[in-house]
A and B are shown apart, each in its own frame.
Chain A
Amino acid sequence: MHEITGAFGDVMQKQLELAAQNYELLKKRGVRAVNVMGAIGSGKTELILRMAEKLGARGLRVAAIAGDVAGDDDYQRFRAAGLPALQINTGDQCHLDAHQVGHALEDLPLPEVDVLFIENVGNLVCPADFPLGTDTDLVVISVTEGDDMVRKHPKIFAQTDVVAINKVDLAAFVGVDPERIAADYRKVNPHGKVVFTAAKSGRGVEELLSALGF
């Protein structure tokens, strides 16, 4: 047996390069992009719609990409709200990747867009490994998922800049303390920003926008 050592290439490098291409294109067009991650039913779409309303009122033009395994329900909601939108159906892939987003960017009217929300597939594992070329990553947790979400998925939270703890208006009904989720997040990510939101009523949406740098 003999050994051959050396650098044979990093397969994640390809993802980073594609993400960097997306980032450059978005910068060139003056678009600020947010990768919105979170479990199914955490309220990603609703939060994006509420943020889009507020940004629209400030004169910013918002577009959205809906990433789902199948179906176009989220896309239809974005369109009904008047946003330029695209659906990416991943065909059973559990996350968006930079290649798919790159194609979607070709089809969006980028010169007429200031802010792009990319709603990832509902999943707290795989999206963490695939950078899309956005400025900021946001993870949405709803209190109805339980107060142990950070402890169950610590690595995605350790790498995420901003966390929205959503549906806080339901916390008392499901016996969950949102502060406990926030405390766990601050432990794994001392520089992360955490915002309590209730998307349906609009609570916390301004604070979330400011945490995202808007």
Chain B
Amino acid sequence: MHEYSLAQALLESLLAYLREHPVSGRIKKVHVQKGELLLLSEWALKEAFRILADGTGLSGAELQIESVPVLVRCPSCGYEGDVRYLAEEGWHVAVPVLACPRCGAPVELRAGKDLAIVGLSVEESTPV
């Protein structure tokens, strides 16, 4: 349960960005990419953001979360890309296996533990 602290970090980084780059109109959606290795509940993260954003310039904005897959680089054979998934009966989740799918060697993680804001959907302000 660390969704609140991360939602707070997302909110603070976004508010700081908006102080530098104000937008005209209400922000309706905040697009976030979440690495699939992070052990975060998407529901709890959205709810935390909704509650923490209330009363700020992002009041009413909703997190739109996209899960991004693990990407690796293999120092042994140079492979770069996604990995094999283990999906055993009864596990109910597909687990990324952090080994090179081409040569089997240990790999470096390139993506899969990120939590990044990648876009905003802004409602146009109606001209008066």
Contacts and interface: CB of A to CB of B under 8 A. Distances in A.
Asked whether A and B interact, the reply is: yes
B97 A188 contact: yes
A179 B70 CA distance: 28
Interface residues of B, number: 42
Nearest to A127: B39
Given A9-B116, A11-B9, A159 B1 contact: no
A154 B91 CA distance: 9
Nearest first, the 9 A-B pairs at minimum CB distance are A8-B117, A11-B9, A10-B116, A5-B119, A154-B95, A4-B120, A191-B106, A190-B99, A9-B13
27 contacts: A1-B121, A2-B122, A2-B124, A4-B23, A4-B120, A4-B122, A7-B116, A8-B13, A8-B17, A8-B116, A9-B117, A11-B115, A11-B116, A12-B115, A12-B116, A14-B9, A94-B2, A126-B1, A126-B39, A128-B37, A151-B88, A154-B95, A155-B95, A158-B95, A158-B97, A187-B97, A191-B98
Contacts of B120: 3-4
A6 to B, nearest CB: 7
A6 B119 contact: yes
Q: Is the interface of A mostly helix, strand, loop or mixed?
A: mixed
Interface in B1-54: 1-2, 5-6, 9-10, 13-14, 17, 23, 25, 28, 31, 35, 37-40
A159 B119 contact: no
Interface in B78-99: 86, 88, 90-91, 93, 95-99
B115 A159 contact: no
Given A11-B6, A125-B39, A5 B118 contact: yes
A10 B113 CA distance: 10
Contacts of B118: 5-8
Q: Is the interface of B mostly helix, strand, loop or mixed?
A: mixed
Interface in A142-158: 151, 154-156, 158
A76 interface: no
Contacts of B116: 7-12
B113 A129 contact: yes
A93 B5 CA distance: 10
Contacts of B6: 11-12
A59 B62 CA distance: 56
B123 interface: yes
Given A4-B23, A129-B38, A189 B115 contact: no
